[in-house]
Structure 1
């Protein structure tokens, strides 16, 4: 056998592997140790896969085995480097373009069936008569019982202008309904709502950074200014997970003058390093601007908010953003698969990297939590204000983050509100307009009766969970036996009462109940209109933008802001 870099050749499959990686450009001159390691490990993987396929006691699924291996490999890198098989390309394309061909409805899985959770207004499902709460029994005669949400979604999708027949069960109707729908190209508007929130202030809510989203925001901005007389603008990026980097640059360009730096990227391959600047004249460089963010604002949302903050172009209000400062590039793989691979980090104009530097202190939702001082570096904005890196964008004005109770989480997780509203809609042909709607005592009392009558509704309070931990520690350390009576008394006092907790947490349950009800009668825009009437973050944004002295003081650094709160959770 020949030698490579002084090591013995490892098998005939290595010849295949070395030929393959040379042809693909993986072997580089002057790096023999690394080249040998690549060949060796590819050979091991191929041999292991072959042995499993030949000798494992049961038949294996080669595709599942490889996808599991790929998933585990990529999981060891970062959360955003992912493999996209051909079967998931439709979902991937929808995430980046906002467009697909289908019926235009959100669906959700429940036990053995999938339900319609929200038909989009004016799209095929809505026009054909599908409603939220409909249980999908069959599609084109194929039984959907036991099917995954992904399987049902794939059956509903298809080429534009083709028919699909959906058989559903609807609350309050004895017989199943057979609904014929003509599929269409579905383009979801990323601007879910825009309008005036007071006489002088307009709001634009952007849900994601899909293709051409900046053009939609521009149309909304111009309409608010020219048709509604908006003199101030609030851009709502809360819960916006990001998307296309180019769209973030174009959106920032609406408010920043031509030539302004928005973001730069730096990675291992130097020729991919780039500084992104605005390339056109802005729509408006002086209109007072507030950008609202929260822990769900990530990636492109953070680029826009960070560029606005670093150029002192507007005030950021809300909670610290998610902390995703990694750039992904999509690479083609054989058999129509894709690899979305992290190729660079991005840096906003002050020099900050938004990527969280410490993965060990994440919140439950993955966003940035506590950031140790040792991982913090100080930067300055265009006006000389102090800002910090370490993960995410810290708002200039922080609004305390609302945390839902265990009761509310249980109502959502078990889809109890969804089920109740199915019954409510069957019994009420209409409700007042969003601006006049409220969850009355009568509605809430009926909901309480519905929940307390359910044998299936289960939850535990946070106090009860902590008591369980205390009890286990006491048993381990020998304190429980000597204080058993006290523990038992406390345990009884901590027993949850569904009816009492529904009353204690009515404020937060009210909001979710109203949201689900209004979506059924007035679609998503109606629910948004209602929510904006009692929105603490929006209230603070209006307060800031309504006071010229406070607004300008924050941007000039003469009014203390919270952007320097380095460890904000």
Structure 2
């Protein structure tokens, strides 16, 4: 990054909104501080470049400074340089030119491998499979490349040709695949269909600029061709995305002209009110929205606004609590600043932002707004709802927490590697609804993990180690320490014990990983819906029309 570009970038950052007259006096008072600090920063970079004992990578050094500066604001305000704009646009559009597969580096120094090809995309159509290790892209050997570098080489102009050299587990000789890149569009509606007694189900995994049309097409098909009588919209683990798409989805189920949300920023000229602008598809069909702690941003706009308008019942767990709106501003040298410009408020008037980034603790950490300090707002029919802590469902269903061991089994690719070998021995499997692994498969997985020397470091073990050091320092272990040894024995990882203890969780994860190899993302989702307590509760509520209507009715005394 040249000095001219650096100064221009900082000026653009500090002068955002400088044309608003209401802030003129404040900016006049700050003018000297802005000029002084820009001059200091510019001189500092120049002096370090000239006199520091070692050669300085100016671009990386300044980038660290930028990231540190923005990191003190909130996690969503970030600098996006030109070389990262492609990935950013992919998040917004859900499209890119490439082979259509997720890749992953086995570890910091390990090879990059295919972990999930997309159905109907070039990687899958060419015959690439999960577990294939990428050795070369065209004539470039990539065995020592990072995940990001390999991803960059795999992407390219649609219809361009590439040759991929891979090493398939269990085979001695590498394989070569000629692949033609295409415009990869990731469908955000992973699967939709009928569940229970005439209940439509749609799973939306993210909000891109085209996802509303996917939801609309799925709903019309379910209503007109499958004659569903109620609908479940699953937004669990949906981290959000394009705000306008959330408004479009809400507009399908509420009257035209309804206020979905309003945004409030530092400058009144930037405040906006979003209303539904199209005629709805259906305003009477019973609707349930599934959410959890990973449902955020646009997912909370949809679920929260439908709740505030008494249009849907919410089922699951409290949502993440992201009530901040970002916008992008162009920067020099084709970069962008994604900056938080406002907070959003859903129809009841509440903001669901949970973490207060404007009042940090002395150590720099951010605290959540305690429930005792949240305020009560009211839905259209007078039902009480609260702000400051995400969206709370009418029917809360707790999800089982995954043990730490599961995390390490996934991160260390034990699941992936075992399933890669398992799939080679099983050309086909039954449909997802009928498939399950046997006890023999489970025992084989245990043996495989042991053979690979799998270990895991649980948080309880770390805390125990720290406790022991403190206890020794303060003299608590000089006498009878049998109690500590007993505790240490209970908290020491034991593979046989913990595999049997968490057999249900391990089995479900194995089944999910296996069906994904045969039925792609749809199969993985369908496998996850087996024994789904939240889905079962939604089916129960929608089947009981009296309960559904009572839940959304005006409270007595209102």
TM bracket (short chain): over 0.9
Q: TM-score, normalised by structure 2?
A: 0.92
How many angstroms does 1:492 deviate by? Answer: 3.4
Q: Equivalent residues in 2 for 1:279-358 (5 A)?
A: 279-358=277-356
Offset of residue 415 of structure 1 = 1.6
Pick from 95, 100, 103 the counterpart of residue 99 of structure 2. Answer: 103
Aligned to 1:470: 467
Distance of aligned partners of 1:193 and 1:369 in 2 relative to their CA distance in 1, 3 Å threshold: farther
User: What residue ranges of structure 1 are gaps of 5+ in the alignment?
Assistant: 1-12, 363-367, 560-569
Pairing 1:219–2:212 present: no
Distance across 1 between alignment mates of 2:293 and 2:424: 36
1:83 equivalent among 73, 79, 82:
79
2:396 counterpart residue number = 398
Is 1:57 aligned with 2:53? yes
Which residue of 1 is the match for residue 363 of structure 2? none
In the aligned structure 1, how far is the partner of 2:351 from the partner of 2:490?
49
Q: 1:147-175 CA distances to partner (integer Å, 9 max, x unpaired)?
A: 11110000000011111111111112111
CA separation in 2, counterparts of 1:446 and 1:29? Answer: 71
Q: What is the number of residues matched between the two proteins?
A: 538
- SS of 2:430's equivalent in the other structure is coil
SS in 1 for 2:334: coil
* Cross-structure match for 1:549: 546
Partners of 2:550 and 2:511 lie apart in 1 by 38
Question: What does residue 3 of structure 1 align with?
Answer: none
Secondary structure in 2 aligned to 1:508? helix
Query: What residue number does 2:189 align with?
Result: 191
Distance change (3 Å), C-alpha of 1:340 and 1:59: same
Q: Write the distance in 1 (CA, Å) between the matches of 2:522 and 2:179.
A: 24
Equivalent-residue separation in structure 2 for 1:359 and 1:451 (angstroms): 43
Alignment partner of 2:433: what SS?
Answer: coil
The answer as to whether partners of 1:161 and 1:183 remain within 8 angstroms in 2 is yes
Contact 2:355 2:367 (C-alpha < 8 Å) held by counterparts = no
- Cα distance between partner residues in 1 of 2:93 and 2:115: 22
Instruction: Give the C-alpha shift of residue 229 in structure 1.
Output: 1.3
**Alignment RMSD:** 2.3
Cα distance in 1 for partners of 2:136, 2:340 equals 40
* Within-5 A mapping of 1:251-270: 251-270=249-268
Q: CA deviation at 1:462?
A: 5.1
Query: Helix, strand or coil: the match of 1:160?
Result: coil
Are the counterparts in 1 of residues 499 and 506 from structure 2 also a CA contact under 8 Å? yes
Alpha-carbon displacement from aligned partner over 1:532-557 (angstroms, at most 9, x marks no partner): 12111101111111111111111115
1:165-204 alignment, distance < 5 Å: 165-204=163-202
Q: For residue 484 of structure 1, what is the aligned residue in structure 2?
A: 481
Cα contact 2:330–2:337 (8 A) shared by 1: yes
SS at structure 1 position matched to 2:432: coil
State how far apart, in whole Å, the 2-side matches of 1:191 and 1:473 are: 52
CA contact (8 A) 2:67 2:78 kept: yes
- When the two structures are superposed, what TM-score results if normalisation uses the length of structure 1? 0.90
Given the superposition, is the C-alpha separation of residues 24 and 376 from structure 1 closer, same or farther in structure 2, using an over 3 Å criterion? closer
Q: Could you tell me whether the CA contact under 8 Å between 1:361 and 1:371 is conserved in 2?
A: no
